[in-house]
Amino acid sequence: MRAYYMDDDLVGDQRLPHDSGRSVSDETLDKLGVLRWHIPVDPAGEWQSQVETIADERSYRNRDICLVTKEGMGDEFEKNLKRFYHEHMHEDEEIRFIIEGSGFFDVREHSTDAWVRLHLSAGDMIVLPAGIYHRFSLDMGNKSRTMRLFKDEPKWIAYNRSSATDTNPFRLDYLKSLQGQDVSVGA
């Protein structure tokens, strides 16, 4: 996985790198609450036991596989990519393990509101904390086969960024975890 700040001045397809040339440190990702592992995907499937160990440690009880390709989604492909790329948050952690292909998870750095772009490929696993603003896009490879893990029953409710999500209790809890103090509404 490679992490860097996006260049907001670059325009064009969301699947392009939009690389500012400024790397993001592990320390910054830790402060944002982004957990990450690299577990090589081997043909024998030994990676599955490592994913299971993490799932057990973090109490993830359910999982599914999501395939994002033009062939698999047909006419809905471009529409879905735009939907995935809309800035949002969840009231649960977002846990993803890339089995095949690659893509970008962008997360907001709260202190600057800058986009941090995480380029994930096969073997990369991330956990985004509940309440963090983020979005997803494929890269130019146009393919991702991803295991999604869930603490309880699979649910995937995206709350698009708005004044309402800025005051969502899960968002406020996330902000408190960053600052270790009370967070004013709209911060």
Question: Is residue 133 pLDDT above 70, yes or no?
Answer: yes
Residue 119 in marked binding region: no
Which sequence spans correspond to the domains of the chain? 2-7+15-177
Helix (H) or strand (E) holding 14: none
Q: Is 90 annotated as a binding residue?
A: yes
Give me the pLDDT at residue 14, please: 94
pTM: 0.91
Question: Does 38 carry a binding-site annotation?
Answer: no
Determine the pLDDT at residue 128.
97
Indicate the pLDDT class of residue 156, thresholds 50, 70 and 90.
confident
Q: Is 18 annotated as a binding residue?
A: no
How many Å apart are CA 1 and CA 23, to the nearest integer?
12
Three-state SS for 48? helix
Classified by CATH at the fold level, domain 2-7+15-177 comes out as Jelly Rolls (2.60.120)
| Residue 180 pLDDT grade (very low, low, confident, very high; cuts 50, 70, 90) | low
What 3-state class would DSSP assign to 118? strand
pLDDT greater than 50 at residue 183: no
Tell me the pLDDT tens digit for each residue of 74-127.
999 999 898 899 999 999 999 999 999 999 999 999 989 999 999 999 999 999
Q: What SS3 state is found at 30?
A: helix
The three-state (H, E, C) secondary structure of 64-108, written as one string: EEEEEEHHHHHHHHHHHHHHHCCCEECCCCEEEEEEEEEEEEEEE
pLDDT in tens, 51-74: 999 999 999 999 999 999 999 899
Burial call 55-79: b when 16+ CB within 10 Å, e when fewer: beeeebeeeeeeebbeeeeeeebee
